[in-house]
Structure 1
């Protein structure tokens, strides 16, 4: 199992490290951060197509906002807070939802404006106990593909359906089809009336079933402001890790003074849907690494092609190929060190670079390159290498 442990893989693949100067927080190396950005851009494009507007909000906010939202009472032991001499204490955000309500509140809204869909790759901090930390799978600082929909009650089911379709499509594209779904119900310590909870639980369950889901019931595990559907993936050791969530909230918008003008010209409080497909992007990378034993698909590989000149005489041809591929937005890596070709091939394989491009004297003089991928090898004209790679890097589709 150590061979599939993402922490061991990350060290071999030079993806990230953690250290005592910032416990539970990730120092992303160039190769790891490329994977991070590729996944971020992947989900960003899916959400853009579904009408989400991307926003960016502060990480440090006044304690009074967290008290008003209810997060201070519920999460203060896990929040990083700062005491100020002027008495206005601040805290790093553990989630982005109050910030998105503040954007909604910054203008007068009409029922015609709804639903409003905000998305953010929100940097969050939670002071998790040190004993619970586990590589990328549990950290003190992480980014979420965080999204919130402010809508009318009659729009809830369509918005939940929109999210579930998004999650299933993205997970299938990444090779995950065995997904565990649970519905977490009202906890003992919660905000809102029983009537609000009765409506929210029934509405979310009905929406889930209309999406073809049959969630396992989890009494008492909901958020303090509403029930949630949880989507969990299992790692190779059989451990379940919660990734995607969709939460139905009829409490938080009212606590933060959100309202819109309805058809009758009267103020009405919107419903808020919280959701994320990946959850923590870092956690999702850890799961993908373990699922694939570090051998990522070509589109997601931090280095897509290893350029390997046989000798220094082919360095110029190799550099020309490198520059050409970079110009096409591909991710080549030069292996032109002083080591032997066999050792450089081993180094490229250790980094799980999926394609090898070998250039010898014969290839250089003919304007060709020997491309190896898996067990196959073919000679390709240098001018056609970019097209060859792009053909193999087609956008992932559901399997």
Structure 2
């Protein structure tokens, strides 16, 4: 390579030379003009940059398009700036908070001051955004001194930006400008506004400045954009489907759960059918855990403050995250339990342990409480009280890999039994450039990270690796599941922890008769029952597998004359662990069938004169229609076969 050239290494290992000052866009153009038209940004030595920035002398380069998540994020961040430009044009004098990309789209927090604004104005803003996009203005990056940045926003009168600048170091501040709009921003951005072809502003919400309920509430406008109109149309169709599957709507229709202002926001009340669903999930997991060698434990809903000081959670999460319990005795400080792990450490420590006892596997369906701001609460997916299928494994370093593999088996068993077939395992490791933020020795970390990587490979998991995403106390494996609409959810996690065994001074006596620290694994295949049920409802649209559904059968007598026989059938089924109900309403059979379909009852048993005489039932399946007429014993056999199929072959 000549002194005047830079060296660029592409993802396939191919190395190219370019003149100094060359950008990622120049590299794209050297490959093909078609590729260059689709480049949104570039990953340069692991960081996402604008595609037109001059590359360093030694560059590992990945060109980012709409097919890359970082490409989408850059596109949506640029769209947030375009929306802010449109808002300033339509509402002169507004003040801007922050406008980041989010998982799907973006938002911007706005202070409209005395100007009137409501959701009816969104279409006008969309039209203005498209008008500005057609100007194809470039996103121009400039480095700005702190004093110049302050002067700019003082003149503009935008105190929110001034507050943000106050926390920045001089020499690290950048502005981006497109058209007549300038914003404080780290970037990166897409090449120009013309790449934004389709716009939809989705909803409006209130948001406290910097998430502080004591600060001013701003107007948060959410939106999404696409490079093609067709993609927007498909996304909006998916949103309509998602509305139909909304777990809050279906949960109400199926009488699973409710909320009460008197009880408190974010504290779900499980109705009889929902409680039955929960009990089945818990029973399913308990059986699997006992088979896998876990021991059930139960811990209190509260703990002394010192427990969480010892664990480090009180310092890490802050006083506001812990809810105190008032007691009659002055000086006592008890808190609602926000996590189960410190309690399990004390159970482990309750007696001496030997290497022969390891691994110790402690499991609990423990209800915990965490304060969430009211604006963040959402059905069962974000609550203040929730139950975790929590377990902690205390093992030697040499046992970590094998224990990891066993937990992976358990997680995959859960996914198969509940119809989650599309998932990716994210391996979260240390940031090698910032090791000081993690605790534990390099040797322990290297062993743990290798154990996770090898365990995932030996289980043939489809994995992605994320550097810097490890917890401060150890690496982890998170399972990202796609639901029926293609949305990603994190369900199931396994974490390695060196922190709590150290803080609680946990020990075991090794074969060398010396004291050793165990390694602690945290795992929760469901995560929280509340969130898991919410995701499951939306995944299957409330049509649960037969083994799990609260009411498995509805017995529908054609008329009151056959009520006694219907009740007799119900009793026989109940004795065979088949749950359901008899519809005794004075309605025609057609109405009873329609109502059972709406309630998503998997199997309907119709009983009339012929069935009563033959001691039989006429069977209908939800969404399929008539299956045939069975004797009661034949139906029980049929039901058990269907139930086994619904649980999956791994559950046999």
Does the pair score TM above 0.5? yes
User: 1:207 — aligned with what?
Assistant: 455
Post-superposition Cα deviations, 1:233-258, rounded to whole Å, max 9, x if no partner, equal: 23455543221000011121121121
Post-superposition Cα deviations, 1:349-372, rounded to whole Å, max 9, x if no partner, equal: 111101111111222122221111
CA contact (8 A) 1:190 1:223 kept: no
- 2:269 counterpart of 1:18: no
CA contact (8 A) 1:185 1:218 kept: yes
Post-superposition Cα deviations, 1:20-63, rounded to whole Å, max 9, x if no partner, equal: 23211211111111111111111211111111111111110001
- 2:638 counterpart of 1:394: no
* Structure 1 residues 238 and 370: CA distance shift in structure 2, 3 A: closer
Q: Which has the higher contact order (CA 8 A, sep 6+)?
A: 1
* Structure 1 residues 129 and 205: CA distance shift in structure 2, 3 A: farther
* Structure 1 residues 180 and 81: CA distance shift in structure 2, 3 A: farther
Distance 2:427 2:467 in 1: 8
User: 2:339 — aligned with what?
Assistant: 95
Query: Alpha-carbon deviation of 1:212?
Result: 2.8
Pick the aligned partner of 1:128 from 352, 372, 375.
Answer: 372
User: 2:249 — aligned with what?
Assistant: 8
CA contact (8 A) 1:79 1:126 kept: yes
Matches within 5 A, 1:1-399: 1=241, 2-21=243-262, 22-76=264-318, 77-82=320-325, 84=327, 85-186=329-430, 192-195=439-442, 196-213=444-461, 215-235=463-483, 238-373=486-621, 374-394=624-644, 396-398=647-649
Distance 1:198 1:82 in 2: 42
CA contact (8 A) 2:605 2:617 kept: yes
CA contact (8 A) 2:400 2:448 kept: no
Equivalent position SS for 1:393: helix
Distance 2:284 2:343 in 1: 24
* Structure 1 residues 238 and 368: CA distance shift in structure 2, 3 A: closer
Q: Judge which range, 197-206 or 50-59, deviates more.
A: 197-206
Q: Scaled by the length of structure 1, what TM-score is found? A: 0.94
Query: Alpha-carbon deviation of 1:335?
Result: 0.5
Unaligned runs of 5+ in 2: 1-240
Distance 2:278 2:449 in 1: 34
CA contact (8 A) 2:618 2:628 kept: yes
CA contact (8 A) 1:169 1:398 kept: no
Query: Alpha-carbon deviation of 1:209?
Result: 3.1
After superposition, the CA RMSD in angstroms is 2.0
Aligned length in residues: 399
Structure whose alpha-carbon radius of gyration is higher: 2
CA contact (8 A) 1:200 1:250 kept: no
Distance 1:210 1:388 in 2: 38
Query: Alpha-carbon deviation of 1:4?
Result: 1.1
Distance 1:137 1:99 in 2: 25
Distance 1:231 1:378 in 2: 41
Distance 1:227 1:25 in 2: 32
* Structure 1 residues 201 and 73: CA distance shift in structure 2, 3 A: farther
CA contact (8 A) 1:200 1:249 kept: no
Query: Alpha-carbon deviation of 1:83?
Result: 5.0
Post-superposition Cα deviations, 1:296-327, rounded to whole Å, max 9, x if no partner, equal: 12111111111011111101101101111111
Query: Alpha-carbon deviation of 1:191?
Result: 6.1
CA contact (8 A) 2:370 2:385 kept: yes
Q: Judge which range, 188-197 or 212-221, deviates more.
A: 188-197
Post-superposition Cα deviations, 1:118-143, rounded to whole Å, max 9, x if no partner, equal: 11111111112222222122211111
Query: Alpha-carbon deviation of 1:218?
Result: 3.3
Distance 2:631 2:451 in 1: 59
User: 2:61 — aligned with what?
Assistant: none
Q: Judge which range, 315-324 or 161-170, deviates more.
A: 161-170
* Structure 1 residues 214 and 335: CA distance shift in structure 2, 3 A: closer
CA contact (8 A) 1:184 1:220 kept: yes
* Structure 1 residues 235 and 140: CA distance shift in structure 2, 3 A: farther
Post-superposition Cα deviations, 1:100-133, rounded to whole Å, max 9, x if no partner, equal: 1111111111111111111111111111222222
Distance 2:506 2:461 in 1: 31
Distance 2:643 2:249 in 1: 27
Q: Judge which range, 277-286 or 71-80, deviates more.
A: 71-80
Post-superposition Cα deviations, 1:68-114, rounded to whole Å, max 9, x if no partner, equal: 01111112332222355522211122221111111111111111111
Query: Alpha-carbon deviation of 1:382?
Result: 2.9
CA contact (8 A) 2:550 2:580 kept: no
Distance 1:176 1:19 in 2: 32
* Structure 1 residues 140 and 219: CA distance shift in structure 2, 3 A: farther
Distance 1:99 1:381 in 2: 53
